[in-house]
Chains A and B, each alone.
Chain A
Amino acid sequence: MWTDAQRQRLALEHAVLQSEGFTQFSVYRNSSDDTYYANGTTNSSSGRQYRLWIRIPSGYPYARPPMYLTEPFPILAADGSRISGLGISHQMHTLTPSESGYIQICHWRDNRWHSDILLYKVFLKGLLWIEAYEQHLVTRRPLAEFVRTMSEAA
């Protein structure tokens, strides 16, 4: 059950996404089960299309919202293997994948998350991950060479 404060916060999140030029993303309410999520389809700088999906946990904003890359599916590494098979990977900057096999992008770890962080910053990290992923595909170098980890970047 969502509190008024949570619903207001999600309304703010949606409005900030629109006002900050992240109009490809939206917060949505699923009326059938009164859950929330945020998602959208975005293009990388090279023009490839990706879909990012954020589950809004019931403890939001105090609980960290996990962000998944749902399209294209499956996401493959440069060697053709599934990135989701790596699990919590420093090399590829991923956390535990969803049950459906979508990779979870490591934006903030639980130990770094706090409730002042807005969803547009989470999406921004998703966009950076996508750019780093494309660099990985070109160079075959680990994605971690293009984005720092949370423990390195305080």
Chain B
Amino acid sequence: MSTSDSQQQTMIREAMKAIAERRPGRTKLVYDKTKRTIVAVAENAQVPRALNITADDADMFAIVTLSTQWLRNEWDRMIRDGILAIRLSAWDQGDAYSQCDLGAQPAPSIVDGAVMFDGSRIPSISPNVRVVLSKESAGDIAAPSTFVAPDGAVYRAQAWRSIDGREELAEVHLADVQPDLAMRRAGLLESKVLKECSVLCIGLGTGGAHAAIELAKCGLGHFFLVDPDRLSVGNVVRHPGGISQVGRLKVNVVRDLILEKNPDAKVSIYSVAATAENEAAIGELIDQVDIVLCGTDNRPSKLLINRLSIEANVVAVYGGAFRRAYGGQILRVRPRRSPCHQCFISAMPEQANDVEISSESAADAIAYSDRPEAVEPGLSLDVLPIANMFTKIALLELLKDRESSLNILQRDFDAPWYLWLNRPEPGTPYATLPPLSESSDEMTINRWYGVYFDRDVGCSACGDFLSVTAAAYGLDATSLKPPPTAVVRG
């Protein structure tokens, strides 16, 4: 490369950076119609037969995103072989290429690529995208195209993509994924703490799936997902999974969405229902986690999870919407320290029975053959506030005994049960709520209410049911006789 070429390359780089960052620079890019190539010239230079290149033009450069961590891990091989093969998701007709390994959901179109050193021989079968690393003596190491190798050497990355037999320049972004993700949470959320935490998410409907994905965004490290269902077309208007995922098991859909948000998360999936038949398996999962999130839509599963969580002394959080999502509720159960789900049923039977009928199975569970029940889901818009609170309560519980700036909120969220109303639903006790704009201290829609109630000392799940019930009927629990043995006739 001649000196003038080198100067030109530097000027082009500066001009491109200036354009990309939308700031005035000392140089500008033009298309020299005489040379039929792009050149960089001084900002005030007048070039005859040249076309000024604008920021919009520059945006046509494709962006190639690679993982810095991956490149570091592969650096020894890169030094040895001088080339690394990569697979790239090609998005939007080649507008962007991202390393397939970055996430769980690559593009439908995958192309071959290679990372190589400047001056290395191009392979005989030329890859679609070549990322070329040029050594630099100094430079802006914070620039997205800069790579600092494990040996401290600094490289600048540029890419060329093959389009219709010709090569076109592309911009390279080297992404330090985990630090970049953590940086966005810095000072608010202790990612390192949450990385070690584990959650069992049972029920991956709209609320459960949303909560799992939100926890992934928070940096939670270990997920165990349980749901037997597949994503249906009808789910798509509410569920985070999209129409192209229809037919897939929800555990698979949500696992991929979690990994798209937190690629380092460990996700284990179980396509089973939380039923008595699977009690042992569910119990084993509960034993392994820090917290259980129950987003199922039926009472038997909730009570099973309640009982197993109490036995394992693991905190469980239950989230759900009322019918047609006119509101919703969150119950947090700290075993034997706060009311459990069974206590809740005894204390607030109306609220415990008010559930959204969001699936065929939920409708079938209460239908009669001569009186079918319709599936009546609420709007995603109305479910998401509940799902957000579901996540927040779980998050605070995970951070409770750990160092976290979020613990300032523990005093605000110390009730066992939370109520949310989306609308003053006719036929409910909330039908006559005053308008939101007219109320300052009365109950209204769109506010969370923490409700305190006591544990039931005679609860059959977390209390001394036998003694308390016996006493209530004037019996002595210590002297109960076994039921009589059946007399077999003739």
Contact = CB atoms under 8 A, between A and B. Distances in A.
A joins B in a complex: yes
Contact of A11 (B350, B461, B482): B482
B413 interface: no
A118 B469 contact: yes
A10 interface: yes
B370 interface: yes
B205 to A, nearest CB: 16
A57 B338 CA distance: 30
Contacts of B276: 59, 62-63
Contacts of B303: 62, 114-115
Nearest to A59: B276
Contacts of B371: 90-91
Interface stretch (A21-29, A65-73, A74-82, A123-131): A21-29
Contact of B466 (A8, A27, A37, A149): A8
A36 interface: yes
A103 B488 CA distance: 23
Contacts of A62: 276, 300, 303-304, 307
A86 B366 contact: no
How big is the A interface, by class?
Answer: 35 or more
Interface string B462-484: 00011001100111010011111
A151 B473 contact: no
Contacts of B342: 114-116
Nearest to A95: B368
Interface in B324-349: 342, 345-346, 349
B215 interface: no
A100 interface: no
Nearest to B472: A16
Contacts of B482: 7, 10-11, 29
Contacts of B345: 114, 116
A16 B369 contact: no
Contact of A28 (B304, B368, B460, B486): B486
B469 A90 contact: no
A31 B461 CA distance: 28
Nearest 5 interchain pairs by C-beta = A90-B368, A90-B371, A27-B483, A11-B480, A115-B460
Given A111-B299, A149-B368, 18 more contacts: A7-B482, A9-B465, A9-B466, A11-B480, A11-B482, A12-B466, A12-B470, A14-B484, A15-B470, A26-B483, A28-B483, A32-B488, A63-B276, A90-B371, A91-B368, A114-B460, A115-B460, A151-B366
Interface of A: 5, 7-16, 19-20, 26-32, 36-37, 59, 61-63, 86-91, 109-116, 118, 149-151, 154
